[in-house]
Structure 1
Amino acid sequence: MHCKTEGIVLSNAGYNDKYVITHVFTRSFGRISYLLPKTRGRRSRINPALFSPLSILNLEVEHLPLREIQRLKEADRQTLLYDIGSDLTKVSLTFFLSEFLSKVLRETDNNELLFDYLKQAVEVLEETKTGLANFHLTFVLGLTRFLGIYPNLENYTQGCCFDMLNGEFTSRTPAHAYYLRERESAFLNQLSRINFSNMHLFVLSRNDRNLIIDRMLTYYRLHLYDFQPIKSLDVLRELF
């Protein structure tokens, strides 16, 4: 079945001498693996140079439900991402998002709301000129809404702690080790109001950002199966 859909490139992996596997999150089918030629043939309508991480593409694909690796028929760039490919800060954030999303987004059915969130995030990353230090915090927290693991952040009171296993604030110290203490819980309450339009207003130190992203990733690890450490995070620790 031939279909047209939008796609956001997550990552690429080696396959053989002629092809790589490109992992793409599509509007119509969710995360899909496609066979991508390493070089562009004379008659080919697929330019492998388009498939860099976070590229937003218009795709024509051959989609068979039982096929493990689907086939690409045509691809063209929907949005020119100049800064993402050239600005050092944005390149570093792209590496992080690519690795993070590759671990978080599994083989799923289509989810148009999730696709729209990812597309918005890529466009914000491309267009924003300053104040990107909190971008990864904003993105990681916001993504929980679309993965079904968004914490209950409505019942914060001063001095309480956040139970990461149950995803809620509590006035009692949990019997397990996975909770945020008073200061960390206050950070989470503050960040509950963060979004892409106001993220530049949140003034945080490097140590605070590193603490927050560490706790966020622990939360993901508790609620998502087989969530592995993010190697590219070390670059962001130094950058921000």
Structure 2
Amino acid sequence: MLSKTQGIVINYVKYKESSIIAKIYTKEFGIQSYIENGVRSARAKNKIALFQPLTLLDLVIYHKKGKDIHRIAEIKCNHPFETIPYEIAKSSVAIFVTEILTKTLREETPNEQLFDFVEESILWLDGANKHFECFHIQFLLAMTAYLGFLPETVEEMEEELSLYGYPLTKGAKAGLQLLWGLEYGDAPRIDRHSRNEMVEILLHWYKIHLETFGEIKSLAVLKEILH
């Protein structure tokens, strides 16, 4: 059955000589896998660039309920990136966000509010001219609301974290209180050390609530790149 949907590329793996299997977060069907034959060949109709992480897509897909891997009938990018692939700081943030999405988007069911949040976040990052140093922290914090474990206050987070042996430092607590509920563009300037403490504590928060969350490999690079 042919269906139209929007999609956000999460990642892809090579399959056979010239094909890939792409994992795409779709607005209509949640997280899904799609096989694209011959995309890595020189004569491919659809270029591999369409399957780079976080690419925003318009899709027409063959979707069959209960099937593990689907096929794409039509595909096009609905927002070519202007800055994310070309600025090392933004591309590092994008890699981090992609890894977070890989570990948190598990359901093959639609969640339009979560999809819209992720899409709007990506668009904001691509369009930001400056002061996006806190973007990844705000993204982590805001996404907890869609995943079902947003604390009501910083104090509530602090209390629960302490039960698991993760103390909230003064710098991280002060920074989280500054960012609490703010839109991306409204974030104040926060020093690098406090930002690193905040992201570490938020990742602990995710680990507490998501059993299979694990380690975020891209964090070390992000800490080096964002000043």
Answer whether TM exceeds 0.5 for this pair. yes
Q: Give me the CA root mean square deviation.
A: 2.1
SS at structure 2 position matched to 1:11: strand
Structure 2 Cα separation of the partners of residues 46 and 181 of structure 1: 49
Structure-2 separation of matches of 1:48 and 1:83: 19
Q: 1:148-200: per-residue Cα shift (whole Å, max 9, x none)? A: 1111117x5xxx981235xxxxxxxx55524425554333322213321202x
- The answer to whether the aligner puts 1:94 opposite 2:94 as a matched pair is yes
Per the TM alignment, residue 207 of structure 1 is displaced from its structure 2 partner at its CA by 1.0
Cα distance between partner residues in 2 of 1:135 and 1:176: 26
Tell whether the 8 Å contact from 2:63 to 2:70 is kept in structure 1 after alignment. Answer: yes
Give the structure with higher Rg (CA). 1
Distance 1:225 1:123 in 2: 30
Per residue, is there more helix in 1 or in 2? 2
- 1:203 corresponding residue in structure 2: 189
CA gap of 1:70–1:41, structure 2 versus 1, over 3 A, is farther
C-alpha distance 41-122 of structure 1, shift in aligned 2 (>3 A): same
Percent sequence identity is 31
What corresponds to 1:138 in structure 2? 138
Q: Aligned partners of 2:67 and 2:150: how far apart in 1?
A: 32
Q: Does residue 1:239 correspond to 2:221, yes or no?
A: no
Q: Which residue pairs with 1:164 in the alignment? A: 160
**Contact 2:57 2:78 survives alignment (8 Å):** yes
Deviations 1:75-99 (A, max 9, x none): 0110110211111111111111111
SS in 1 for 2:178: helix
Partner of 2:182: 194
The residue type paired with residue 76 of structure 1 is K
What residue number does 1:66 align with?
66
Distance in 2 (CA, whole Å) between partners of 1:41 and 1:74 is: 19
Number of residue pairs aligned between Structure 1 and Structure 2: 225
Structure 2 counterpart of 1:216: 202
CA distance in 2, matches of 1:62, 1:92: 33
Contact 1:164–1:179, Cα closer than 8 Å, also in 2: no
Contact 2:31–2:108 at 8 Å: present in 1 too? Answer: yes
Amino acid at match of 2:107: E
Contact persistence 2:59–2:72 (CA under 8 A): yes
Structure 1 outlier segments of 4+, above 6 Å? none
- Give yes or no for contact 2:166–2:201 (8 Å, CA) kept in 1: no
Q: Which amino acid aligns with 1:225?
A: E
Cα deviation, residue 49, structure 1: 2.2
Alignment partner, residue 15 of structure 2? 15
